Amino acid sequence: MKTIIIKFGGSSLADPGRIRRAAAMVLAERRRGLRPVAVVSAPGDCTDDLLKLASLAGGENLSARETDALLASGEQMSAALMALALRAEGAQAVSLTGAQAGIRTDSAFSSAAVLSVDARRLKRELAAGRIPVVAGFQGVSSGGDITTLGRGGSDLSAVVLARALKAVRCEFRTDVKGIYTAHPAIVPDARKIRNISYGEVVALAELGTEVRQLRAVNYSAANGIPLQLRSSFHD
Ligand code: ASP
Ligand code: MG
């Protein structure tokens, strides 16, 4: 069976209704005969709210280790909620932290680099017929500490898992329908771009429009991972 990665952004998970809709999209892919692995961002503005909380509690010179431990909790909340929503639909699902999913990083807290992925646990879950829901944006250092992968880092989680599981593609479900020639809300005749090269996406980011985390795009280019941008509001 072909594996696909479906990554949901925070706005697509901002409330329980949206989480249930995202879960339904995961199940729809499974009915199409694919084996989905979900990767989730923290709900809504959770990461920014956690950052504010961190400085309210810890002042200015925050410990990078503790900040990462706090920030990673946002994605863990999404993963557990999504697994609950999938189970409510009768599917077997299991939430996993980055560490449980085998994402090993260096110890550069707040922008750790992924060193390797030990996909054994994920493969066991898939073989048992369960849908893994992986908390994005995080990994674990060789010292056993929780690390985060830079803002937007759930994109990187998704693509490293795509490579490790030899997924046929990596889908990003977001609050936009795709990449447009201009901002559709500002330019009424903006067109949706059907196909775009990795290089063009990198160029867009250099011009100030980061449609996906740059690290994730570069990783996908280097590893030939097909990326698909889709709406999480319209199937
Ligand atoms: N929640 C984190 C952020 O907003 C990671 C992510 O969404 O990819 O940067
Ligand atoms: Mg976010």
How confident is the model over 149-165, as pLDDT tens digits?
999 999 999 999 999 99
pLDDT for residue 93 is more than 90: yes
Give the number of the atom of ligand 1 that is nearest the alpha carbon of residue 154.
8
Q: How far is the CA of 151 from the centre of ligand 1 (A)?
A: 5
Of 73, 156, 72, nearest to 114 (Cα)?
156
d(CA 171, CA 207): 24
Q: What is the pLDDT of residue 210?
A: 85
Q: What's the CA gap between 7 and 38, in Å, rounded?
A: 6
Question: What would the two tokens of residue 3 be?
Answer: 């594996």
Cβ neighbours around 178 below 10 Å, total: 17
How many angstroms separate the alpha carbon of residue 44 from the centre of ligand 2?
7
Those residues whose C-beta lies under 8 Å from the C-beta of residue 233, and which sit 6 or more positions away, are 12, 21, 175
Name every protein residue with a CB atom under 6 angstroms from any ligand 1 atom.
10, 41-42, 47, 74, 136-137, 151-155
How much is the average pLDDT of 206-215? 89
Residues facing 6 on adjacent strands: 38, 171
Is the CB of residue 227 less than 8 Å from the CB of residue 39?
A: no
The amino acid at residue 96 is L
> How high is the pLDDT of residue 55?
97
Rounded to 10 deg, the angle between the 64-88 and 46-58 helix axes is 140
Selection from 9, 3, 7, 4 nearest residue 174 by Cα: 9
- Mean pLDDT of the 204-232 span: 92
What does the CA dihedral 208, 222, 156, 111 come to, rounded to 10 degrees? -80
| pLDDT tens-place string over residues 50-73 | 999 999 999 999 999 999 999 999
Return d(Cα 54, Cα 61) in angstroms, integer. 10
Q: What is the DSSP letter of 76?
A: H
Other Cβ atoms closer than 10 A to 31 = 7
**Is a pLDDT exceeding 90 seen at residue 185?**
no
Q: Which atom of ligand 1 sits closest to the CA of residue 152? A: 8
Q: How far apart are CA 149 and CA 184, in angstroms?
A: 30
Six token digits for residue 14: 């901002």
Q: How confident is the model at residue 26 (pLDDT cuts 50, 70, 90)?
A: very high
Neighbour tally for 14: CB within 10 Å: 17
233: buried, middle or exposed (CB in 10 Å: 19+, 13-18, 0-12)?
A: middle
Q: How far is the CA of 45 from the centre of ligand 2 (A)?
A: 6
